[in-house]
Amino acid sequence: MLVSKSIFEKIRSYVLVIDQEGKILLANGPFSSLPGVKNNSVEGQMIWEFMKPFHKNYRKTELILKRKILLKNKLSTQFETQLEVGNKFEKHILWDLSVDEENRYVLIGSDITERKNAEKRIQKKNKVLQETQKDFLDSVNYAQKLQEAILPDLHKINQYASESFVLYKPKDIVSGDAYWLSRTDEHIFIAAIDCTGHGIPGAMLTILAHNLLREIIIKQKQTDPGKVLNTLDKELTATFNDEGHLKHTPDGMDIVLIRLDKGSNQLQYASALRPLFIVRDKDYFELKGDRYPIGLLEGIDKNFNTYSFDLKEHDSIYLYSDGYADQFGGPKHKQGGKKFTKKKLRELLLSIQDMPMNEQVGFLDYVHNNWKQEMSQTDDIVLIGLKYLQDKLCFG
């Protein structure tokens, strides 16, 4: 024996020395003290017969041992076993079977019970996380269905103005940006809405905004854009502050609302921090509204005004959230990229005036993707465009 018996006994791992026929020649103290082993005579027994009563799924272990020993395979082999005594689990053991210089087989076992238990705990936590993630995704998908059911179809705007489009690109499954359409016998209303945040909180806010606009314009028959926003602001604030004790409404939105009138070329609009673009030939007009949001700021005297602008036939009107201009990307996208910017968006809109609206939307989407490259979408996007042609407008 190459190792003295005293040292052999001090080895903490489980050690067996086996001859070329599979008979156990030596077993150290730690092995002999294993549950179910200490009352048995170890030495002289065949290894596969001795281990049979103590190991779960023993047939696999027996096959490994016999292939290794009886076929004189000298390559090192590792395998795991579960030690059981009286159907009670005791330990996980990782065995390493090799050949020593005297052509005897040496079986060294390490107790890996704690590692296995840790793996099981991790697996259990992962399973809980997977179930939680599934529940979350189910909730998000349900929120998406709710939002899709409430938002108008993207092509519905063509029923209001034949030369028009809506570019709608949520950052996540659901969006904090929205668009709103309505019409009467005399008026067409179009709004672009940019709620605080994105994802589920933003989406729930867009649903609230949709319902409030419907209540104010359709049921209450309020047609003045500024008064619509004033009422929207009060209603949203009341929704989050029904006790009257909050000084800061936790959520809000930026919005631009326009009204087109039958038989008139005058555009009426109101805006909370969202401008709109008018493109006429190769000139542009940026129409700004009031510089405070809907909601968010409590205790500030807000008054949203109605503004007007005289349109000409073939003017292009654009309403948008800030998501398109805020997209990071460009030639240096691998170094973090740069914002597209409102200036580039304005130049882009000026450059596509020879395209019909149904081609503009595809080109705008292409430019956004090309700028973004492999980067994530920065924010939700809504961009509405329509060509002003009085005889092509369809009222209620």
pLDDT digits (tens, 9 = 90+) for 258-270: 999 999 999 999 9
pLDDT score for 85 = 66
337 backbone dihedrals φ, ψ, rounded to 5°: 70, 175
Write down the residue that tokens 């580039």 correspond to. 344
Distance CA 262, CA 390 (A): 8
List 270's β-bridge partners, or say none: 257
pLDDT score for 148 = 84
pLDDT digits (tens, 9 = 90+) for 282-296: 899 999 999 999 987
Distances (CA, A) of 175 to 43, 153, 192, 199, 206: 72, 15, 13, 6, 8
Residue 248 banded pLDDT, cuts 50, 70, 90: low
List 82's β-bridge partners, or say none: 56, 92
Residue 74 is encoded by which pair of tokens? 């000298």
Residue 100, number of CB atoms within 10 A of its CB: 12
Q: Is the pLDDT of residue 79 over 90?
A: no
For the CA atoms of 73, 74, 77, 82, the dihedral, rounded to the nearest 10 degrees, stands at 70
Residue 316 banded pLDDT, cuts 50, 70, 90: very high
pTM for the whole structure: 0.73
- Higher pLDDT residue, 301 or 71? 301
Contact present, 304 and 345 (Cβ < 8 Å): no
Mapped onto helix, strand or coil, the DSSP state of residue 339 is strand
Q: Is the pLDDT of residue 11 over 90?
A: no
Distance CA 345, CA 378 (A): 15
Specify the CATH number of the domain 5-111: 3.30.450.20
Across the chain, what does the average pLDDT equal?
A: 89
Residue 227, number of CB atoms within 10 A of its CB: 16
Instruction: Based on DSSP, count helices (H) and strands (E) in the chain, helices before strands.
Output: 9, 19
Mean pLDDT of 203-210: 91
Q: Is the pLDDT of residue 210 over 90?
A: yes
Q: Is the pLDDT of residue 212 over 60?
A: yes
pLDDT score for 40 = 65
User: Which of these ranges, 29-43, 110-124, 328-342, has the smallest mean pLDDT?
Assistant: 29-43
- Please name the amino acid found at residue 54: F
Mean pLDDT of 377-384: 96
- Rg from Cα positions in the chain: 37
- Residues composing the chain: 396
Q: Is the pLDDT of residue 4 over 60?
A: no
Write down the residue that tokens 């294993």 correspond to. 34
Q: Is the pLDDT of residue 28 over 90?
A: no
Give the distance from CA 371 to its chain's centroid. 21
Domain 152-392 has CATH 3.60.40.10: yes
Q: Is the pLDDT of residue 127 over 60?
A: yes
- Please name the amino acid found at residue 343: K
Closest CA to 368 of 349, 385, 353, 386: 349
Question: Which residue spans of the chain are classified as CATH 3.30.450.20?
Answer: 5-111
User: Which of these ranges, 1-10, 174-183, 272-281, 382-391, has the smallest mean pLDDT?
Assistant: 1-10
pLDDT digits (tens, 9 = 90+) for 344-359: 999 999 999 999 999 9
Closest CA to 273 of 295, 301, 254, 286: 254
pLDDT score for 39 = 57
Give the distance from CA 272 to its chain's centroid. 29
User: Highest mean pLDDT: which of 8-12, 31-35, 159-163, 201-205?
Assistant: 159-163
Question: Which residue spans of the chain are classified as CATH 3.60.40.10?
Answer: 152-392
pLDDT score for 145 = 86
